[in-house]
Structure formats: structure tokens, C-alpha cells
Amino acid sequence: MSTETTYKSGSNLEKILASGQFAFTGELGPPRGTNVNEVREKAQFLKGNVDSVNITDNQTAMVRMASWAASLILVQEGLEPNYQMVCRDRNRLAMQADILGSSALGIRNMLCLSGDHQKFGDHPDAKGVFDIDSIQLISMVKQMRDERTFLSGGDLHGSPKLFIGAASNPFADPFEWRVHRLAKKIEAGADFIQTQCIYNMEKFREFIRLANEEGLTDKIHILAGVTPMKSVGMAKYMKNKVPGMDVPDEIIKRLQGVEKNKVAQEGINIACEQIEEFKGMKGVHGVHLMAIEWEHKVPEIAAQAKVLPRPVFD
């Protein structure tokens, strides 16, 4: 690869995707307290096994350690964070301030999200901010990075170097809208996409086919979201209780079809078969593994999925 390449952020994730290699990212939820060791311990399972680690931002509207703070702990541990920011908890002033601070301290990837409604969390009566939405957040980060100005137009003294991510849920309805929404996120300035957990492969193939047809997959790197099922109960919960999640009955039947102590392994097998298909799927450039509270399983999943060793750049 040429050393002349100019990167937008210079993040490891950007380099991997720019080099055409198949990316493999992970996820880590910050603790509900000040226990730094919790973050460090989870991080050790991810180190060397993934290219970048999403650090969730008050996920499901439950208060946790700030995502920028947990991201910085990862930087100290020698991992690359993907700093998530939701629109629910801060207005445009706080967002821009956090973007500058996180970039100044070495964060290079950022995922822009609307955020789960506060109603789901531990402070359901909180005032939801939503000053701007996720698509507007993408375009604000891009403006700060590329035009070197604040949203208001004022000059920035030093612009944030961030690889800009966005989410996509191919399974929410209306289905036809999902490709348009992806196009909007590309137009707003997203560099990469991490999708919602995929279980309905048929529907996902159709989504990618449409995205390919529209030429969208040439403009953006898509990482397919994978979450291994730990149990039949989890599969049923995801199917029935999580909005926008599409879990076909075959998945539940397949998990039910094995002995109880082998259900988790079967969940991992399903995930690895999916990853194998994604590796050869036109328009998919990597996998985002969301092993929820299962970080210690990531080394074995990565090995079984044959995505190791991860590429290393100087």
C-alpha cells in the first residue's frame, strides 16, 4: 500500500477498510460506576481480535460511564475505540465540545446515532434533547473535520480527525425506505456503516442487493452486524421485545434443536456461518460483532470465524 495515502482520520479501521481488507470490529459497554478495571478486563478479550471497539453511549438510555471516558481507557490499553454519540443527551454545543475533546485526546472513530428513547432507561422522565438528529450529527462532524468550522460557521482552531460512522437497520419498516436512509447518511458524510444485528439473512441479502444496485456500496464501507445468540430465551426476547429486530423462527428452532448445554455453541456456529457468507458478499466490507456482555467469548468467536490475525499498520 502506498504511504502517500491521505487519510481522513488515520484510524486503524479507516486504514483496514481503505486497504480493501475485511474489517472486524467489536463492542464494549462502559460500566455503571467508576470501576476502570471492568473496562480494562473486557478490553483484554478484544485486544488483537478486533480492529476497533465501539464504546456505547448510555446504551438503552441507562446511565453509564461517559463513552468518551471509556474510549480513552481503551486508548490507554492500546486498543482503538469507536466512540459512540447519541443525540438524546446533549445539544449542539455539548456535542461539538465533546467531539473536539475526544479528537484532541486521540479518538479517531465516531459513530453517530439518534439513541434509544429515554423512556427505556433508568431515568424515563428525563428531557430528551434531540436538538439535532443522527443524520444532522453526521453532517456536523464532517463539516467540523473537512470545512474546519463549527456548525455555526465560525472557524475551528484545529479540526477533529474522525472517521465517521453511522448505523443502519435494514429490518425496520418501511423496507423500501432503508436504502434511501442509507443514501441520506452517505450524502450527509458517513464513511462507514455498522448495521443492526442481522438474523434474517434473506432480507439482508435483498437490502445489500438494492444498495449495490444504487451504487451505494461503492461510496461507503458496510460492516454487517452480528450478535451470537446465547440462549433460546435471548432469541425469543430479541424477536418479541426489541423494536426493529427481525429474528426468523428457523433461528429459534435451530437453537431449540440442540442439547441445552450446546445452545451457546450453536449460537456461535450460526454467527460464524453468517460471517463466512459476509466475507464473500459483494458490498459488505466487514463485520461488527456485538457480543453483548460476552466479551470473553470474542477470542474464540474470532478464531472460529477465521478472521485472525488482524491486520497491523505502522
Partner 1 sequence: MIVAKRKPFAEIKAMLKGYKKVLNVGCGTCVSVCLAGGEKEVTILNTEIEMTRRLDKEPIEIQGHTIERQCDREYLAELDSIIEEGNFDALMSMACGVGIQFLAERYPLIPTFPAVDTTGLAVNQAVGWYEERCRSCSQCVLGMTGGICPVTMCAKGLFNGPCGGTNKGSCEISNEQPCAWFMIYERLKGQNRLDSIKKLNAVRGWNDQIPRNLVQPGYKKPENSLK
Q: Which is nearer to partner 1, 42 or 178 (CB)?
A: 178
Least Å distance, CB 54 to partner 1, is 15
Least Å distance, CB 198 to partner 1, is 13
Least Å distance, CB 128 to partner 1, is 7
- CA pair distance 113, 96, nearest whole angstrom: 15
Least Å distance, CB 275 to partner 1, is 22
Q: Which is nearer to partner 1, 115 or 301 (CB)?
A: 115
Q: Which is nearer to partner 1, 241 or 282 (CB)?
A: 241
Least Å distance, CB 125 to partner 1, is 13
Q: Which is nearer to partner 1, 18 or 126 (CB)?
A: 126
Q: Which of these, 135, 160, 143, 171, lies nearest to 247 by C-alpha position?
A: 171
Alpha helix (H) residue ranges in the chain: 12-18, 36-46, 67-76, 92-104, 134-142, 175-188, 201-213, 232-241, 249-256, 263-279, 298-304
189 with 139: CB under 8 angstroms? yes
Beta bridge partner(s), residue 55: 28, 83
Q: Which is nearer to partner 1, 238 or 307 (CB)?
A: 238
Q: How far is CA 107 from CA 131, 172, 244, 260, 287, in A?
A: 24, 31, 30, 42, 21
Q: Which is nearer to partner 1, 133 or 273 (CB)?
A: 133
Task: Locate 41 and state its grid cell.
Answer: 478486563
Least Å distance, CB 143 to partner 1, is 10
Residue 63 φ/ψ, nearest 5 degrees: -70, 130
Q: Which is nearer to partner 1, 181 or 205 (CB)?
A: 181
Distance of CA 263 to the CA centre of its chain: 26
Percent helix / strand / coil, the chain, rounded to 5: 45, 15, 40
Other Cβ atoms closer than 10 A to 41:
12
3-state SS, one letter per residue, for 138-160:
HHHHHHHHHHCECCCCCECCCCC
Contact positions vs partner 1 (CB under 8 A): 87-88, 92, 114-117, 119-120, 128, 130-136, 139-140, 151, 167-169, 172-174, 177, 180-181, 183-184, 187-188, 196, 243-244
Least Å distance, CB 7 to partner 1, is 25
Q: Which is nearer to partner 1, 119 or 123 (CB)?
A: 119
Task: Locate 190 and state its grid cell.
Answer: 458517513
Least Å distance, CB 139 to partner 1, is 7
